[in-house]
Structure 1
Amino acid sequence: MKTSRRRIRSFRDITHGDVDLRRPVVTLFSGGLDSSYLLHRLVQAGATEVHALSVRVGGDESLPHLRRIADAMGVRLHAVDRLTAFAEEFVQPAITAHAVYLDTHPVSSSLSRPLIARTATELARELGAEVVLHTANRSQNTLRRLDGALDQLGFEGYFGSPYSLEPVDRERKIKELRSIGLDEMAERSASGDSNLWCREFESGALDDPEDHAVPESCFRWSGVREPDPSEDVTVTFRRGVPVALDGHELPLATIIERLNWRAGAHGLGRHTGLEHLPGGVKVLEVREMPAAWLLLASRRHLETATLDAELMREKLHMEQLWVREALEGRWFGELRAACQAFITQAVAPVSGSVTWRLAGARTSTTSIVADAPRYVRSREEWEAASIRDELSCLGAASQYENGGMQW
């Protein structure tokens, strides 16, 4: 475990600590208000080699927008494509683990943070940087997830968020960025985070759980438009993992991307939920996750069709252990790895397909086909066969009792 001396928690830690601003500094960069302001403060502090890292995982960030801000600051932009790794190394395990937070919403940013931290660590080591910075604050769970991942990855330098102990109010950030020609930052009324698996909104206009009407303009995949009245879609799984859409084998990232638009067109996949911060305080988060909604529901149907009930009960418990470790920033820890090993073994029989009729609020399954099913397709036939088997056993027992059989 790193000592607190190497944790960055304020801007003072950067300017009045042991950080050498003549060496390369890596900072995570989304193009939003907080990360843009951090670049501005680093340049003001005299950092001579700032590297702004954008890890591309299928989010909404515009590359021209990121370049414009980086150029305005005079820093170097690193836009690194990690979409395939995100889908296969982080979303895929979450699907098999049915990673849903306390039965309210699928986990989302918890999946991207360890990958972002890993990418930042790799870049810092490549550049010889001794500092990795991010911009999460105390009201964001990202703070402990990024710090936890950087710690578990063994980053040797300084890391953390200067907003942790030294928040800066929104108006000041906007004013200072406007002074260098970045006027567009004032337009953002809520904080957003997006990736292939989820688009998430929080803070600002969405702070109050008791009054949080979400502007329709926030939504993209499930935004109001005219879908087909109904359409069928079939998802095929192998060992608990989605492998095909409508009979065509596709990479997982492609399956998710297509389902986001197809299921989203029917208004599916919107989630609102409260998530805990350290100390037990709850904060509101709104998510748009059409593909996640459909894929998790489909896999659970197939799991029910193929697994023993007792195994499923134990897996339900293991799923929440898995979720807790991911949420608390311990993705690279031993307990999540142990949970994953159990889950991977448990879902080995979960192969087959689920067909849905997408029709808005009337969406429902029309077919569940398991490769190795435990279900019956005709109750009457099953009952008749079951009675025959039981009578046959009773008859054998009667013959034994009468001495008609030698055992």
Structure 2
Amino acid sequence: MTKLIKCFEDLKDLPQGTEVFCLNSGGLDSAYLICRLIHDFKFKVHTLTLDVGQNDQVSVCLPNYITKTIDVHTVDAKEEFARDCVLPLIRANGIYLNQHPLSASLSRPLIAKHLVRIAQKYKIETILHSATPSQNSMRRFNTSILDLGFNGLYGSPYLNDNISRIDKASYIRSLGATIEEKRSFSIDTNLFCREFESGDLDNPELMNLNEEMFLWTKSVPSENIKITLEIENGIPVRINNQSFSLVELVSYLNTHLGPFGLGRYLGLEEGPLGKKVIEARETPAGYFLLTAFDHLINASFDYKSLLVKRHLDQLWTCEAVEGRWFGTIKNSIDQFNNEFFKNVSGRLTFDISYKTMDCRSIISSTPRYSTEREFDDLNKEVERAA
């Protein structure tokens, strides 16, 4: 029988040695959870580390005696993340309220998918994560785990247990953990996007965009460049005549467009408690691909078709933000987009300069545009006369 875990008290009836599966994000919240489960409850803990291209998030080193007891499951999901999360977002123009592309909304369902898969494989009946009530990740994890058909205990003890970060740090330090010096912001990263919130960004009326947050967009280019993107059947496949996998292509764009200051976003996002918080992010690849796909579909479809597409884009984004990644509505829109993009192919060229990206050429395989407008008008007059 499925049961939602809301606090540590909900775990007290589980016997010592119970196998529990946890997400280890490398941060304070997950470190505290893992230490409590092992040290206080004497559970057998399995952890999942899902590699979606993050490389700068570990801020807590657990004590040796804790890490020795953990059964660690590591999954390289970069290709899966690019194919099943980033590409659907690009096709659905997944931009939150016209402010910024989604990021964490993409990775949370994929993490939940692998938590459920591995838990079922090893017959583990309890899945825990460390999201707090103020984080949208809470409902994204919980909804995904439930929608995936997990039949055991699941949830976050932090839903009802409000434990301060000072108390969490004090507890795990008492067990021998080391914690890096506090950053002035929190960060969530993947191969597509780096997302920042809290700390210096807590007050929307007085924001401090610390340059140390940024990695991809902090240097300055030496000279302007030209980029030509080729899309085949709705999939970006080549840049400047060089073929790439999706992971390689996203990495190439983040590396080569970032120095031009392209792909920085700043906007308010509503949390689960109804309050809005500032989020900053950088995704040069997202900025480029969303712009390129927008140009190509506009060149390839009539106005009425694009109106329908825009409506579905907003609905897809809402479903993803709310955590209904595996729900009927979002999956139905994905099927629509798969059909919509089946014959969308083309070639686009952009001139790139500092903080500027100008489209210089759009070539669609199914063009709705005219290349010789005056000639077309003359032919229309001839048809009417005939």
**Identity among equivalent pairs (%):** 37
- Structure 1, unmatched stretches of 5+, are 393-407
> What corresponds to 1:328 in structure 2?
322
For residues 177 and 103 of structure 2, what CA distance do their matches in structure 1 show? 30
- In the TM superposition, residue 56 of structure 1 has moved relative to its aligned partner by 0.5
> What corresponds to 1:156 in structure 2?
151
For residues 19 and 210 of structure 1, what CA distance do their matches in structure 2 show? 47
For residues 173 and 218 of structure 1, what CA distance do their matches in structure 2 show? 24
1:58 aligns with 2:53: yes
Aligned partner (choices 62, 67, 73) of residue 66 of structure 2: 73
For residues 280 and 338 of structure 1, what CA distance do their matches in structure 2 show? 28
SS of 1:196's equivalent? coil
Matches within 5 A, 1:100-111: 100-111=95-106
> What corresponds to 1:217 in structure 2?
212
SS of 2:381's equivalent? helix
For residues 355 and 47 of structure 1, what CA distance do their matches in structure 2 show? 59
> What corresponds to 2:353 in structure 1?
359
1:42 aligns with 2:37: yes
1:298 aligns with 2:292: yes
Matches within 5 A, 1:79-94: 79-94=74-89
For residues 267 and 41 of structure 1, what CA distance do their matches in structure 2 show? 43
> What corresponds to 2:257 in structure 1?
263
SS of 1:344's equivalent? helix
- In the TM superposition, residue 21 of structure 1 has moved relative to its aligned partner by 4.1
> What corresponds to 1:385 in structure 2?
379
CA offset digits 1:7-26 (Å, max 9, x no partner): 11112222x3x434412111
Q: How many residues are treated as equivalent by the alignment?
A: 384
- Structure 2, unmatched stretches of 5+, are none
> What corresponds to 2:4 in structure 1?
7
SS of 1:363's equivalent? strand
> What corresponds to 2:120 in structure 1?
125
SS of 2:356's equivalent? coil
For the 8 Å contact 1:318–1:343, the answer to whether it is kept is no
> What corresponds to 1:251 in structure 2?
245
For residues 389 and 69 of structure 1, what CA distance do their matches in structure 2 show? 78
> What corresponds to 1:276 in structure 2?
270
> What corresponds to 1:402 in structure 2?
none
SS of 1:187's equivalent? coil
CA offset digits 1:182-220 (Å, max 9, x no partner): 333442332211111111111222222112212111111
CA offset digits 1:37-72 (Å, max 9, x no partner): 111211222333111211100112478x78x53745
Letter in 2 for 1:342: F
> What corresponds to 1:180 in structure 2?
175
- CA distance 1:385–1:285, shift in 2 (3 Å): same
For the 8 Å contact 2:57–2:187, the answer to whether it is kept is no
- In the TM superposition, residue 381 of structure 1 has moved relative to its aligned partner by 2.4
For residues 314 and 44 of structure 2, what CA distance do their matches in structure 1 show? 42
For the 8 Å contact 2:262–2:356, the answer to whether it is kept is no
> What corresponds to 1:97 in structure 2?
92
1:114 aligns with 2:109: yes
For the 8 Å contact 2:52–2:81, the answer to whether it is kept is yes
- CA distance 1:70–1:357, shift in 2 (3 Å): farther
Letter in 1 for 2:101: P
TM-score computed with the length of structure 1 as normaliser:
0.89
Letter in 1 for 2:329: L
For the 8 Å contact 1:70–1:76, the answer to whether it is kept is no
- In the TM superposition, residue 240 of structure 1 has moved relative to its aligned partner by 2.1
Worse overlay, 22-31 or 71-80: 71-80
For residues 366 and 72 of structure 1, what CA distance do their matches in structure 2 show? 60
> What corresponds to 1:371 in structure 2?
365
**Whose Rg is larger?**
1
- In the TM superposition, residue 300 of structure 1 has moved relative to its aligned partner by 0.4
For the 8 Å contact 2:57–2:188, the answer to whether it is kept is no
For the 8 Å contact 1:31–1:69, the answer to whether it is kept is no
For the 8 Å contact 1:232–1:358, the answer to whether it is kept is yes
- In the TM superposition, residue 281 of structure 1 has moved relative to its aligned partner by 2.6
> What corresponds to 1:401 in structure 2?
none
- CA distance 1:70–1:199, shift in 2 (3 Å): farther
SS of 1:265's equivalent? helix
Letter in 2 for 1:73: I
